[in-house]
Amino acid sequence: MAGDKKITRRASAKPQKARSSNSQIEAFLNKVALTPAPVAGDGRGRLIFAMDATASREPSWDRACHIQGEMFKETDALGGLEIQLIFYRGFGECKASRWVAGPAALRRFMTGVFCLAGHTQIRKVLKRAIQETNEKKVGALVFVGDAVEEDIDALGHLAGELGLLGVPCFMFHEGGDPTARRAFQQIARLSGGAYCPFDATSAQQLRDLLAAVAVYAAGGRAALSDFSDRTGGIVPQLTHQLK
C-alpha cells in the first residue's frame, strides 16, 4: 500500500533519542568487518559521507563538523582517504562537494552549510553514489539521517544497484522513527552494508563509528582490526570476527 511507502514528519511529535545497546553496536561493527574490502584503484580509499541537512538535524550537523577529521586521522598510513560530502535540505536542494583529501577542506565546506526545513532526498544521494562509482571506484557510502519520506521500494532498487557495484551503504540512524529504521535497514541489506542506530547525544559514539568505516574504506578488514586494537572503546567488539 502507498501508505507503507511514504511518511511525513509530524511537527507536533517530540523527537526520540536512540540509544544503541552494546549488542546493536557490536552487530553493526561486525557487519563492517565482514563486508568485502573495497578494491583500491590508486591506493587511496574513497568514501561518500552523506547527511540529511533538514531542520531537525541541525544539532547533529554541528557535532559532525567538529568530529569529521577523525575520518582522515587514521587513514594516512593506509594510503590516504578521499571524501565527498553530499547533503540535502530545503526545497529540492541536494549538493555534493568536490572530493577532498583532508579534514580542513571538508570542514570548510561543512561549516558553510546551514540546515533548512524540507523533505528527505535520499534517492538523489544514492543516484549520485552510483554515478560517482561508475566514474571511479567508491569504497563505501556513509549516511546519517533521522527520517524517510520517499518510496521505500524505489530506494531499495537503487541500493541494490550499489550492491552490484560493490558500494556498501552504512546507515547511521538518529532518532526512533520506525519507518526510517525499516528503510535504512533495507538500504543497508540490499547494498551489502550495515545499519546502526546511534545516540544523538554521544559525539564519541558517532566519532568511533565514522572512523571505523573510514578505516575500512581505506584499508579493508586488516586495517580495521589494527584500528580496533589501538583504539579501544566500542571498536574492539569486532576483533574476534576479524580473527
pLDDT tens per residue, range 190-204: 998 888 887 766 677
Question: How many angstroms separate the CA atoms of 149 and 214, rounded?
Answer: 28
Q: What's the confidence (pLDDT) of residue 56?
A: 80
The CATH number of the domain covering residues in 16-242: 3.40.50.410
| Better-predicted residue by pLDDT, 36 or 165 | 165
The reply to whether the predicted model has a pTM over 0.85 is no
C-alpha gyration radius of the chain:
16
Average model confidence (pLDDT) for the chain? 78
- Residue 157, pLDDT > 90, answer yes
Mean pLDDT over 208-213 rounds to 80
- Give 23-82 as a DSSP string: HHHHHHHHHHHHSPPP--SSS-EEEEEEEE-SGGGHHHHHHHHHHTTHHHHTTGGGT-EE
Sketch the domain layout of the chain as residue ranges.
Answer: 16-242
Instruction: Show the CA angle centred on residue 102, arms to residues 90 and 32, nearest 5°.
Output: 75
- Residue 6, pLDDT > 60, answer no
- Give 75-141 as a DSSP string: TGGGT-EEEEEEEEETTTEEEEPPPBSSHHHHHHHHHT---------HHHHHHHHHHHHHHS---EE
Q: What's the confidence (pLDDT) of residue 139?
A: 87
| Better-predicted residue by pLDDT, 231 or 94 | 94
Mean pLDDT over 165-170 rounds to 90
